[in-house]
Amino acid sequence: MTALNERIHLAGFAPASRVNGPGLRVVLWVQGCDLACPGCFNAATHPPGGDAGTPPEDLVGRVLAARGPDTVGLTFSGGEPFQQARALAGLARRLRDEWPDASLMAFSGYRLDELRGAAAPPGAADLLSALDLLVDGRFEARRPGNRPWRGSRNQRLWVLGRPPQLELDDARGAAEIHVTPEGGVLLSGFPDARLRRLVTSLS
């Protein structure tokens, strides 16, 4: 069941990104992932959130305030969004009330068949039903991706709801560095090894 009041453990928030799905998007990174893909460059997002979490209502307001005239939607990344699926499903449904044509997307380390299976994380079906786009599968560092939005070749892009209004941009090699209000540095997109080392040295 969708949890409208379950709090969300956040790792980061970007009001505008062009490397997390087609078009200009708000991005919400969640805290916590236990899938342990070797070579993951988001290790800081792996420990579970230790704070009280953020109420979904606050995040709806933050997303709507961040939205500009060219913003097409919201992307969930992480961390592992489906390890907070019930809370994110609540947020997605609440956001739809305020922004009906938003394109909602998620990156997940789980494969779609795992998310639809008997051992899926709680709330996975609710979150899937709220999404338009999903990139699925563990990151495999030895098989670098050669298609937009996929970090490794095993990962797949699924259109679960409305197809994107825009052509899928070619994001190969595209990356962004976001500086958080707290002064932290978030590397996002599909950085090469040299950029990953640079950002690691800054963190």
Q: Which range, of 28-36, 169-177, 184-192, 194-202, touches ligand SF4 by CB under 6 A?
A: 28-36
Angle (deg, nearest 10), helices 85-98 and 56-66: 50
Q: Which CB atom, from 31 or from 54, has the smaller least distance to ligand SF4?
A: 31
- Residue 89 CA to residue 86 CA, distance in Å, equals 5
In the chain, how long is the greatest CA-to-CA distance? 43
Q: Which range, of 40-48, 92-100, 112-120, 122-130, touches ligand SF4 by CB under 6 A?
A: 40-48
Structure tokens at 170: 């070619």
Q: How many chain residues bind ligand SF4 (CB under 6 A)?
A: 13
Report the nearest approach of ligand SF4 to the CB of residue 184 (Å). Answer: 16
Q: Tell me if 141 contacts ligand SF4 by CB under 6 A.
A: no
In 3D space, the residue among 198, 180, 177 whose CA is nearest the CA of residue 11 turns out to be 180
In 3D space, the residue among 12, 109, 105, 95 whose CA is nearest the CA of residue 56 turns out to be 95
Q: Tell me if 82 contacts ligand SF4 by CB under 6 A.
A: no
Number of neighbouring beta carbons within 10 Å of residue 50:
9
Q: What single-letter DSSP state applies at residue 82?
A: G
- Residue 34 CA to residue 53 CA, distance in Å, equals 18
Q: Which CB atom, from 28 or from 102, has the smaller least distance to ligand SF4?
A: 28
User: Rule CB under 6 A: which of 94-113 touch ligand SF4?
Assistant: 109
Instruction: Please report which residue ranges of 46-155 form alpha helices under DSSP H.
Output: 56-66, 85-98, 112-115, 124-130
Q: Which CB atom, from 19 or from 102, has the smaller least distance to ligand SF4?
A: 19
Query: Which of 62, 138, 147, 153 touches ligand SF4 (CB under 6 A)?
Result: 138
Q: Which range, of 12-20, 36-44, 122-130, 175-183, touches ligand SF4 by CB under 6 A?
A: 36-44
One-letter amino acid at 158 equals W
Q: Which CB atom, from 30 or from 102, has the smaller least distance to ligand SF4?
A: 30
Binding positions for ligand SF4, rule: CB under 6 A: 33, 35-37, 40, 42, 45, 78-80, 109, 138-139
